[in-house]
Amino acid sequence: MSVMNEYIVDLFEFARTGRVAEGDVQLAALPRMVTEVPAEVSASGRARSVFHWRAEGAEEPVLRADGKPAVVQFLTLKVEGPMWLECQRCLTPFEAPLDSETTFEIVPDEAAAEDRPLDEDELEALVGSRHFDLLELIEEELLLALPIVPKHEVCPTVHDSLATGSDGLAEPAPAPEDEDKPSPFAALAALKRSPDKDGK
């Protein structure tokens, strides 16, 4: 196994030779991820997450959906580590584990990516280059791994603005009953008891 110190690689050669690279990246090196950290954590200086990543290239002969053989290059990227987020239920910061593993099919350009068969089983296309930035892809995968609605499994506290419903959201109070409001059935009974204009 070879360990790479630089993030800029010839992605085509990386896949052709089946290289493997891994390492750790600090949260501070990922500007878009930094913006996801709660302000309270950023101000306290606790946002020092470290993410471990592993990239593995491969090249294999495959049979395309149209029946044509081809030699295809792949990149598998795995990224994992803790990330500070804000719980959307109790509105307090917490550390959530992020874990992402994706295998891409490397293509030479955007046109090749668009020409691939529209098959749900196809891997995501990744446009390669001779100076590919692995760090940018690492950050992209971490952003995609962020939960849509981050929250504790069990909140340590409940925010004052929230009720204690099962989903943590405020539940509407039931409408109070108006005791002075006449019953519609009582009004109907009164009509039945009243004589008509002929005195019947």
- pLDDT per position as a tens digit, 24-64: 999 999 999 999 999 989 888 888 899 999 999 999 998 87
Higher pLDDT, 180 or 35: 35
pTM: 0.72
Closest CA to 58 of 45, 69, 73: 73
Environment class of residue 178 by beta-carbon count within 10 Å: exposed (0-12), middle (13-18) or buried (19+)? Answer: exposed
pLDDT in tens, 155-175: 887 655 554 444 444 445 455
User: What's the structural domain count of the chain?
Assistant: 1
Query: What is the H or E stretch that residue 50 is in?
Result: strand 50-63
Q: What is the DSSP string of 7-30?
A: SEE-HHHHHHTT-EEEEEEEGGG-
For residue 142, give the H/E element and its range.
Answer: helix 134-145
3-class DSSP assignment, residue 102: strand
In angstroms, the Cα distances linking 5 to 35, 45, 102, 105, 110 are 26, 27, 21, 24, 28
Q: Which residue has the higher pLDDT, 15 or 199?
A: 15
Q: Give the model confidence (pLDDT) of 72-93 as tens digits.
A: 999 999 999 999 999 999 989 9
Residue from 124, 131, 80 nearest 102 by CA = 124
Query: Residue 78: which of 24, 129, 119, 2 has the closest Cα?
Result: 24
Q: Are 75 and 11 in contact (CB under 8 A)?
A: yes
Strands (E), 123-181: 124-127, 132-133
Residue 2 has a pLDDT of 42
Residue span of the structural domain in which 89 resides:
1-200
